[in-house]
Amino acid sequence: MLFVYGALMPVRVMELIRHWKLQEKEHAAFIMQASPELEPQYVQLIQSWEPVFSQTAHYTNQRLDEWLPYPTRLPAYVEQTIESLIDAALEQSRTYIDQLSQLMERTAAVSTPLSRTVMLHAIRESNYYVGLMSAYRQGANRSSSREQSAPLQRVPVGGHQLPPLPYAYDALEPYIDEQTMRIHHDIHHQAYVDGLNKAELQLQAARESNRFELVKHWERELAFNGAGHYLHTLFWSIMSPYGGGEPVGALSQQLRTDFGSPAAFQRQFSEAAIKVEGGGWALLVWSPRSRRLEILMAEKHQNLSQWDVVPILALDVWEHAYYLKHQNNRADYVQSWWNVVIWPFVNERFEEARKLTWAPY
C-alpha cells in the first residue's frame, strides 16, 4: 500500500513527481542557456528530454484532477497508477543522469565554470529525487508484502520493529541534518524498540511462571519504551521535505476555536516545547471528553501527560533530536521544526480522533 502515512499520501507523491519533472525540464533549459557552444547532436539530445518531462508532469496533473472528488480515501486503482508512474519517472531520471554524465566527459562545450556548475547541479538534483523516490518505493513494497501475507496481522509479543523513514536521511535539511536523523532513527528509536520487546517478553515470562517480583520494573520499562516507540513512529510521519505552511481543513478551524488562531496555537506549542525540563515532548492532543484540543508537555514520555486523550501532533525535544546541529539552542530547533510539519496528515489524524465521544465529566 502507498498509504504510508494517511489516505492523502498518494496525492503528496503525485505532487512530488510533478515538481520533480518540472524541475528537470527547467534544468534542461538552463543547460542549453549555459552551454551555447554545445554541438548540434548534444543540443538535440537535451532538447528531446523537455517534452518527456512535460508529458510526465502533465500526466500527474490529469490524475490529480481526477482525484479531487475523493478528498479522504482514493479508489483502489490509484496505488497501481502511482507505482507505475514512480517506476517510469525513476527510469527517466536515471537515463537522463547517465547521459548528462557522459556528455560532460565527451565535449569541451561544458568545460566553462558556468556550464559545469549548471550541469552538476542538474545531476545532483535529479540524483536527490532518484534516491528519495527509490527509498519510498522500497518502503512501499515492503509494506505491501507484509499486508498481502497478513492483512490484519497483530504485532506478536516482543515482535515490534523499527519502521523505515518515509524519506531520505538528508531530506529535511537544512532544518534537521542527516547525521542527526541517522543517529535519532537508527540508534535511539531502535533502542526504544529493543527495550519494548524485552519488557514485553519479560512480562510474558512473568505471566507464564506466575512470578511477579520484578513487575514494577518491567511495567515501567514497558511504558517508557513503548511510549518512545509509538511517539517516534508518529514523529517521523508528521514531517516531510515538503512540509511547512499553515494548518488546513477542520484542524485549522478547531485551532481557532480552542486557541484563538493557528498562530496563537503555534506560539503556545513552541513555548511548551522550549520549556520541557530535561528531555521529552510537546504534544497536541484531542480530548474526547472535553471535545477540545490541548497542548501537553511530556517529560520521559509519561510525566506531565494525561490518559484518555489522542495525540495529534508530537515534537521530540530530547537533546538527541537536535544537539548535533543546534547544540543547546532548543528554541532554534523548535522554530525550524515547523518547516517540516505535514499539516494535511495532522488534520487527517485529528478528523479521525474527533469521532471519539464519551460522557463529558
* Cell 487527517 sits on residue: 348
pLDDT attached to residue 53: 94
- Looking at domain 249-354, does it have CATH number 3.90.1150.10? no
Q: For the chain, which residues make up each domain, given as ranges?
A: 6-145, 178-238, 249-354
Q: Tell me the three state secondary structure of residue 187.
A: helix
* Pure H helices in the chain: 9-34, 40-67, 77-106, 113-149, 178-182, 190-209, 215-237, 249-259, 262-274, 323-326, 330-337, 343-353
Q: Which fold has domain 178-238?
A: Helix Hairpins (1.10.287)
Q: Which class would CATH give 6-145?
A: mainly alpha
pLDDT tens-place string over residues 20-59: 999 899 999 999 998 888 889 889 999 999 999 999 999 8
Q: Is 259's pLDDT higher than 60?
A: yes
pLDDT attached to residue 149: 43
Q: What are phi and psi of 8, to 5 degrees?
A: -90, 5
- Label residue 146 by pLDDT band (50, 70, 90): very low
The share of the chain scoring above pLDDT 90, in percent, equals: 41
More confident residue, 289 or 361: 289
pLDDT tens-place string over residues 192-239: 999 999 999 999 999 999 999 999 999 888 888 888 888 898 899 888
